[in-house]
Amino acid sequence: MGWISPTGYSDPSSGWNNETYAYDENTDYGAKTTSMVGPHSWAPTLILTIDAIQSSKIRIYGSIGVAYPSIVKISVYNDGTWVEVYNGFPNDYGWQEASFTQGSVTQAKIEIYNDTGDVDYATVYEFDFWQVVPTKYSCSGPPDYVCSEDPDGIYNSLAECEAACVAPPPIVEEIEETYVERFGLNL
């Protein structure tokens, strides 16, 4: 598990410059709107993308830009649908985290509202996804045949492991059956 950066972006209205700065691991510079955001107005939407990962939270680094107070709305594309995970005033020059139900996440949509009478650029300094490593299971061999969590395991669920993790039939029974078949004797 850990924080990982987006790997791409979508700027549907071409309203942002230096979009990759929003995920370059540098909180000194950020992606910035191409023009100032007017009073009581929404900045253009910025979408940050990643190959599908299991995720349960995001974080964004402030200051977000735009004269304070700014309202930031963040949605993630989770299991095939947009889910709003944050809507509020983020920390100024600090990380703001938001949790959500774990799922397969491929995008985050960032919308910033200038809630003041001033004009300013909107800026996203840094953004990360929390990657959840799926739990895997392994089956121990003789004598116990027990399933346990193992990051290198081959089974994706405990039920799948338990179905496959069974002791083989005793060899003695096979020998007895063969002896009976050959010689017609019972042991």
pLDDT tens digit sequence for 2-24: 999 999 999 999 999 999 999 99
Mean pLDDT of 117-121: 88
CATH number of 2-131, picked from 3.40.50.720, 2.60.120.260, 3.40.50.10490, 3.65.10.10: 2.60.120.260
**Do 81 and 134 touch, CB atoms closer than 8 A?**
no
Q: Which amino acid is at 122?
A: A
Identity of the highest mean pLDDT range in 59-73, 74-88, 120-134: 74-88
Asked whether the predicted pLDDT for residue 181 surpasses 70, the reply is no
Q: What is the pLDDT at residue 49?
A: 98
Which ranges of the chain does DSSP label H, i.e. alpha helix?
158-164, 171-183
Q: What's the token pair of residue 182?
A: 């050959």
Asked whether the predicted pLDDT for residue 69 surpasses 80, the reply is no
Q: What's the token pair of residue 95?
A: 């990380």
Find the farthest-apart pair of alpha carbons in the chain and give their distance in angstroms, rounded. 100
Mean pLDDT of 54-68: 78
Q: What is the location of CATH 2.60.120.260 in the chain?
A: 2-131
**Tokens 């840094």 appear where?**
126
Query: Above pLDDT 70, what percent of the chain?
Result: 86
**Measured CA angle at 33 (ends 29, 38), to 5 deg:** 125
The full 3-state SS of 152-180, as one line of letters, equals CCCECCHHHHHHHCCCCCCHHHHHHHHHH
- Say whether 76 sits in a helix, a strand or coil: strand
- Say whether 137 sits in a helix, a strand or coil: strand
- Taking alpha carbons only, the member of 125, 129, 155 closest to residue 140 is 155
> Is residue 142 very low, low, confident or very high in pLDDT (cuts 50, 70, 90)?
confident
